Structures are given as structure tokens and as C-alpha cells.
Amino acid sequence: MRIVIALGGNALLRRGEPMEAATQRANVKVAAEQIAKVARDDDVELAIVHGNGPQVGLLALQAAAYPDVTPYPLDVLGAQTQALIGYMIEQELGNIVAPERAIVTLVTMVQVDADDPAFDHPTKPIGPVYSEAEARRLAAEGGWAIAPDGDKYRRVVASPDPQRIIELRSIRRLIEDGAIVTCGGGGGIPTTYDEATGTLTGIEAVIDKDLCASLLARELDADMLVIATDVAGVFRDWGTPDAHCIEEETISRLRSMTLAAGSMGPKVEAACRFVEATGKPAVIGSLEDIEAIVAGTAGTRVVAD
């Protein structure tokens, strides 16, 4: 069974927590303990895609604090977070399942369209949360776009649609050789391709990791896409006393729901794209329930119409 797990960046660095290495490592350890429940099975081939919104935002803040050097662009910061988070996943998961399984982190580029309309409408939250007043002040100073995130505000950046995973052949070979592969971190390093010159160029953006994971799962012929987050699944009537988790729903009904563009919306669309293309299951649910999700007893299961 070949599974792609999309691991939310906010599951690795939770809302309101100090943005420190020790905090992230502690959260990665918890995530690794859950993933290991699936990874210990020799019959399971596994690829892990992780988010990087809090981490890439932190690096951007750190870069801006040193005015003597031009701040590094988001594609470079994305590459840094792939190594940072991948290293922690590789080590913590390896401490549990090694030496039985090889674990590899692969820095991954993902092709996007430079003319994607997403560049005109930033939606992807990055960095820490702020009060509205503080967010508006920082936006005015830094030229940011900001948007609500729960009862707080965050910086938002362009999130173009992933089109092609550049290192796909290498990922496939590693998985077929039995390795657990962490790849497409942060949705992949956003890269454009010039057909005339045959060259790749990084571009300022942060790709949604769930959409990247969906593309990866389709391209790898995965048997299941698991989108692991910090809630039990997709909720109907979210934010009201009648809120309840949906156990199973069709593509069309899920797409008709009004969902947050920067959070649950891309998760649902990613799951729908995978099911639509393959007819195989996609499940959105809590990282803590990952073993039950794979077994089909937890999360929101997305099915074809």
C-alpha cells in the first residue's frame, strides 16, 4: 500500500507557541510517533509532505531584521525550511523505526505558472499570528498583504497551483527501494520553467502543501492520500454550537461548502482532486488519529460522486 501523508506546518509549530527549535522538535517527535504506527508496516510505502507556513514566515522576519543584506526570497527560504523540518522528521522518525527503514529527505522543486492569477490574490498564511492592530502596522511597514486567521491575523503571500514535481523520478525510485521519503516540503520550492532556454528559476511564493501532496499522490499512483491536520476532519457548521465532523462526503458536496481559503479550503480541494483523478480514498483528519485514518475509522473520507 502506497500512502502520501500531508503533514500540516501548524501541527509542527502550533498557534501561539514560541517559534523556537526546541518547540518544533518536540512537536515533530509527537508527529513521528504517530507516523511510525503506519511506517512500521513493511507493506506500506510512504511519502511525507509537510507544511512550512510558520517556519518560512519566521525566516522572512529574521532576514528582514538584518538590513545589511538583501532579504532572501521566499523560494530560497522554502528550501531552507525543507532541510530544517526534513532533518527533524528524518531524525525523530528514524529514532523509532530505524534501522528497519531507510529515511530520506529530498529537497524538491515544484513548477508553477508565472502568470498564475494567485500572484494577484495572496491567500497563503505564513509566519506568526498577530492582533489586528499589530498586523496592520506591520503590513504598512513591510508592504505585506494580511488576512484573518481565526481570531488573529497573519501575513499572506501568493500560492500558485503546483503543476509538476521536478524530482518525481527520484522520489519514485527511493520509495520503490523501500525508503520513507520526506519531499515537497512546504509545497515544494516554487519554480518556473522557461521552455525556450530549458532553465528553472525560483519565484516568490509559497505553494500549498496539500495541493502539492495531492499532485504527488496522483503522480506516484498512491493508494491513499492522508491530509493530517490539527482537527478531527472537515466540520459542518464550523464555529457554531451545531458544529460536527463529517465522516464521509462526496466531491461535489464538499466543493459546494464555504471553507477558509487559507486553511481547510485547499485541504478539501486537494482531497477532491486525488479522488477525482484516481477513484481512491483521500481522508482529512487529525494527526493523532493517523492509524485509524488509514484503517478507515477516523477523519473525513472523501468519495467520488
- Catalytic residue from among 8, 9, 184, 186: 9
Query: CA–CA distance from 236 to each of 148, 150, 232, 242, 300 (Å)?
Result: 20, 16, 12, 8, 11
Task: Reply yes or no on whether 10 is catalytic.
Answer: yes
* CB-based contact 264:208 (threshold 8 Å): no
Q: Is 9 a catalytic residue?
A: yes
Cross-strand partners of 227: 6, 284
**213, 228 in Cβ contact below 8 A?**
no
C-alpha cell at 182: 520526506
* Grid cell in block for residue 80: 531552507
- Who contacts 169 (Cβ-Cβ below 8 Å, separation ≥6)? none
Catalytic residue among 10, 27, 52, 53: 10
How many Å apart are CA 195 and CA 39, to the nearest integer?
39
> 267 an active-site residue?
yes
Catalytic residue among 209, 233, 262, 285: 209
Confirm whether 37 is a catalytic residue.
no
Catalytic residue among 51, 124, 127, 299: 124
**Main-chain dihedrals φ then ψ at residue 224, nearest 5 degrees:** -155, 145
| CA 37 to chain CA mean position, Å | 20
Q: Which of 184, 187, 262, 267 is catalytic?
A: 267
Q: Other CB atoms closer than 10 Å to residue 221's CB: what's the count?
A: 10
**52 assigned to active site:** no
Residue with cell 538583501: 70
Alpha carbons within 13 angstroms on the beta-carbon side of residue 208 total 26
The residues near 113 (Cβ < 8 Å, ≥ 6 apart) are 160, 161, 163, 192
> Which residues are catalytically annotated?
9-10, 124, 209, 267
